[in-house]
Structure 1
Amino acid sequence: MRTVLIAAGTSLVLTLLATPLFIRVLVRQGYGQFIRDDGPTTHHTKRGTPTMGGAVIIAAVLVSYLFAHLVTLTPLTYSALLVLFLMTGLGAVGMLDDVTKIRNQRSLGLKAWQKLTGQSLVAITFAVLALQRPNEAGRTPASTAISFIRDIDLLDLAVTGAVGGTVLFIAWAYLLIAAASNGVNLTDGLDGLATGASLFVFGAYTLIGIWQSGQSCLTEVSTQCYEVRDPRDLAVVAAALLGACFGFLWWNASPAKIFMGDTGSLALGGAIAGLAITTRTELLLIILGGLFVIITASVIIQVAGFKLTGKRVFRMAPLQHHFELKGWNEVTIVIRFWIIAGLCVGAGLGVFYAEWVVGA
C-alpha cells in the first residue's frame, strides 16, 4: 500500500510543479494550440494556448512509478511495464501529431494512415507481449478470454487454436485500445474535461487493483479469487496516473493555461485500455468509461445520421460542443459531464463489488 500512496503523491507533486515550467518552455518555442474556425466561437480566445501538456503527465507517471519502487525496494512487474509502454508509445504518436499541427498551423496533424500506423504498431506490440512471460502460476498479463469482471470461459478466443486465438486476441486488444484512446481524444475538447473524467477511471482502477491483490488466487485459492498476474503493481500504475491527472488539472481547468493535446489524450486512453486488459475487466470498461462511450457514440450517431438523412442529429459533435452551441457555459458543461463520469465509475465499481458479494 505504501508504494501506491508514494506513486500517487509523487506524480501529483511532479505535475503540479513541473507543468508551469513546461508552459514557459512551450511559450518560448511558440508551441500554441491551433483552433478550428468552424467550431464554437468562444474557443477562438484559446488560440495560442500551450499544448502537448500530456508530456508532463507521461513523464510524471514514469518517474513516480520508478521512485515508488525505489523507496519501497519492491520489484517492477511485467504487467505494469506493459501498461506504461502502451501509455508512452501512444503518447509518442500523439506528440508527433501535435508537433505536426503546430508546425503546419492547422487543426489536422499527421495524415490518417500515419497516425493509424503508429497506433497499430504500439497496440499490436502490447497485445503480443501481453501473452508472454507467465509467472510461477502460469498466468500472463493478458488472457485470450474476453473478460467482464474476470475471464469469461465461454468467450475464450483460444478455442480456435493457439495461433488463431492469439490473432483474435490481438484484434480484440487493438479494438479496445483504439476505442479507449480515441474516446479520450474526442472528450478532450473543453478545459479540464478529459483530465477530470480520466482521473475518475484511474481512481477506480486503483481500487480494483488493490482489491484484486487482496483476493488474489496466488494467496487465497477460492471460487472468487482473481487470476490477475500483478494486481498490486497495476494499482501503483493507476495511482500514479490518478495523481498526475490531479496535478495537471490544476493548470488545465478553466481557463486552461495548457492543453494536454493528443500527446495526453492518446496516452491516457491507452493506459485505461491497458489497465482494463491486464486486470481482466475489459467489458466492465464500458461502464467505468461511460462518459467516453457516450461522447464517442455522439460522433458515430452524427456521422451515420447525416449520411442516411442528410441532416445533423446534433448541432455539432462531439456532444460537449452541441451543448456549447446551445448556449451552455463551458464550466457548466464540464462539471455536469464530470458528474456523469463519476456516476458511471460509481456504477462500475458497484457492479464489480456486487459480483464478488453474490459469489462469496
Structure 2
Amino acid sequence: MKSILVAAAVALVVSILFTPYLIRIFSKQGFGQEIREEVQKSHSAKRGTPTMGGMAILVAMWAGYLATHLTVADQAPSASGLLVLGLTTALGIVGFLDDFIKIRKQRNLGLNKTAKLVGQLVASVLFAILAMQFQDEAGITPASEHLSFIRDITVVSFGVVGFVIFAYIAISGWSNAVNFTDGMDGLAGGTAAMVLACYVLISFWQLRYDCTAPTGGGPTPACYTVRDPLDIAVVAAAAMAAGIGFLWWNAAPAQIFMGDTGSLALVGLVAGLSMVTRTELLMVVVGGLFVVEALSVVLQIVVFRSTRRRLFRMAPFHHHFELAGWAETTVIIRFWILAGISALFGLGLFFADWLALSGS
C-alpha cells in the first residue's frame, strides 16, 4: 500500500507543477493546436492552445514510479511494470512526432497513416514478444497467450504468434477508441483517470489473492495468476495521479491539450494494463465510453454509406450533443458520469467473479 501511495503522491505533485511549465514553454514556441474544420465554429477559440501536454503525464508517471522504487526498500522494478511503461512511452513518442509535425506544418494532419501504423506496429510487437518472456519463479510471464476476461479463458489460446497479432489488433483498436474520445477539454483525461483508478483496485486485489503467494492453505479457485500485481498497481496509480494533475490544467476551459502525445500514451496504458492483468475483455466494459465513442464513428460511416443519411449530426457522438445545443461542459460532465458508470460496472463484474469462486 505504501508503494501505491508514494507513486500516486509524487506523480500528482509533478504533474500539477510541471504542466504549467510546459504551458509557458509551448506558448512561447507557438506550439498551438490546430482545429478540425468540421468543428471550427464552436471550437475556433481553442486554436493556438498549447498541445503535446501528454509529455507532462509521461514525465509525472515515470517520476511516481521511480520515486517508489527509490524510497521503498522492498519494492523492485518488475518486468510487467516496465513493459507497460515502455509501451506507454513508445506510443507517446509516436504521438509526439505526430503532434510536432502538425505544429510545424500548421495543419490538423501529422504523421501519415502508414508512419503511424508502423510506429504502433513496432511498439506492439516488441511489447507482445517481451511480455511472453521473463518468467518468474512460478513460471508466470507478464502476459498470457490465452484470451482473458476476469482471468484467463484457457479454452481460447492464441499461441505466441497469435498473441503478437492479437496485441497489435488490440492496441490499434484502443488507439482509435481513445483518440476519438479526445475531442473536448478533459473528456479523455477524466475518463482515463476513472479507468486507471479501477485498475489500481483490480491489481491490488490480485496482489491480495495471488495464486503464488504463500497463504498456508494453498491457492483457491478465486486466486489470480498474474505476475507482479503490486508493481502493476504502482504503474496504474502513478498514471492515474499524473492524469488527474494534468486534468487540473486541461479541464474546460483547457489551458493545454494532451495531443496525440497523451492520447496514444493512454492507449499504451489501457492496452498494456489489460494484458498484464489478464483482463482484456473486461477492459472493454471498464473503458466502455472509449468503446462507445469508437462505435459511434463506425455506425456513422456504415449508415451513411448504405443510406446516404447521417445517424448523428457529427461523429464521434460527443459532438452530436454539442451540435444539438448542449454546452461543452454539460457534454463533458455527463460523459464523465457515463464513464464512471462503466468503470464501476466493470469493477462490479470483477468482484462478482471473485465472490462466486470464493463461495462468499
Q: TM-score, normalized by length of structure 1?
A: 0.97
Amino acid at match of 1:238: A
Within-5 A mapping of 1:156-167: 156-157=157-158, 165-167=159-161
Residue aligning to 1:331: 329
Conservation of the 8 A alpha-carbon contact between 1:183 and 1:292? yes
- 1:182 and 1:4 mapped to 2: Cα distance? 30
Secondary structure of residue in 1 paired with 2:280: coil
Please say which of residues 301-310 and 90-99 is displaced more in the overlay.
301-310
Give me the whole-angstrom Cα distance separating, in 1, the residues matched to 2:77 and 2:175.
Answer: 25
- Which letter does structure 2 place at the counterpart of 1:215? Y
Indicate the SS of the match to 1:153: strand
The one-letter code matched in structure 1 to 2:117 is L
Q: C-alpha distance in 2, partners of 1:353/1:59?
A: 33
Counterpart of 1:196 in structure 2: which amino acid?
G
Q: How does 1:121-140 map to 2 (within 5 A)?
A: 121-140=122-141
Partner of 1:115: 116
Q: Name the CA distance, whole Å, in 1 between partners of 2:22 and 2:188.
A: 20
Contact 1:40 1:321 in 2 (8 A): no
Which residue of the partner structure matches residue 154 of structure 1? 155
* Equivalent residue in structure 2 for 1:215, among 209, 219, 231: 209
2:190 pairs with 1:182: no
Residue 274 of structure 1: aligned partner: 272
User: CA-to-partner distance for each residue in 1:43-72, whole Å, 9 max, x for gaps?
Assistant: 000000000000110011011101111100
Counterpart residue identity of residue 48, structure 2? G
- In 2 relative to 1, CA 170–355 (structure 1 residues): closer, same or farther, beyond 3 Å? same
Offset at residue 241 of structure 1 (A): 0.6
For residues 240-298 of structure 1, the C-alpha deviation after alignment (integer angstroms, 9 at most, x for no partner) is 01100110000000000000000000001211110000000010011000000100000
- The 5 A counterparts of 1:314-325 are 314-325=312-323
Aligned-residue RMSD, C-alpha: 0.8
1:12–1:246: 8 Å Cα contact kept in structure 2? yes
Corresponding residue for residue 282 of structure 2:
284
Residues 1:193 and 2:187 are matched in the alignment: yes
Map of 2:43 onto structure 1: 43
Secondary structure of 1:223's match? coil
Residues paired across the two proteins, number: 353
- Identity fraction in percent: 52
Q: Deviations over 1:209-263 (max 9, x none)?
A: 1000000011141111100001111000000011001100000000000000000
Alignment of 1:75-86 (within 5 A): 75-86=76-87
Question: Aligned-pair distance for 1:305?
Answer: 1.2
Shift of 1:304: 1.2
Q: Distance in 1 between matches of 2:171 and 2:142?
A: 15
CA deviations on 1:54-110 (whole Å, 9 max, x unpaired) are: 011001101110111110022100000000000000000000000011111111111
Match of 1:343 in 2: 341
Letter paired with 1:188: D
1:251 is matched with 249
Long gaps (5+) in structure 2:
none
TM-score, scaled relative to structure 2 = 0.97
Asked whether 1:142 is paired with 2:143, we answer yes
Distance 1:336 1:134 in 2: 43
Which structure 1 segments of 5+ residues have no match? 158-164
Which stretch shows the higher mean deviation, 73-82 or 173-182?
173-182
Aligned to 2:19: 19
Q: Which amino acid aligns with 1:330?
A: E
Displacement of 1:181 after TM fit?
Answer: 2.4
Report the equivalent of 2:305: 307
The separation in 1 between residues aligned to 2:154 and 2:21, in whole angstroms, is 50
* Secondary structure of the structure 2 residue equivalent to 1:284: helix
Mapped to 1, the partners of 2:105 and 2:321 lie a distance apart of 30
Once the 2 structures are TM-superposed, how far is the Cα of residue 37 of structure 1 from its aligned partner?
2.3
One-letter code aligned to 1:99: F
Residue in 1 aligned with 2:228? 230
Measured in 1, the distance between the counterparts of 2:37 and 2:204 equals 46
Letter in 1 for 2:194: F
Partner SS state of residue 227, structure 1: coil
Partner of 1:161: none
- Letter in structure 1 aligned against 2:115: Q
CA distance in 2 between partners of 1:175 and 1:203 (Å): 25
- The equivalent of 1:106 in structure 2 is 107
Q: Report if aligned partners of 1:182, 1:266 keep a CA contact under 8 Å in 2.
A: no
| SS in structure 2 of the partner of residue 146 of structure 1 | strand
Deviation at 1:36, TM superposition (A): 2.0
CA contact (8 A) 1:40 1:325 kept: no
Question: Do structure 1's residue 4 and structure 2's residue 4 form an aligned pair?
Answer: yes
Determine the C-alpha separation between the residues in 2 that align with 1:9 and 1:66: 12
Q: Which runs of 4+ in 1 moved over 4 A?
A: none
CA contact (8 A) 1:209 1:234 kept: yes
8 Å contact 1:193–1:337 — kept in the other structure? yes
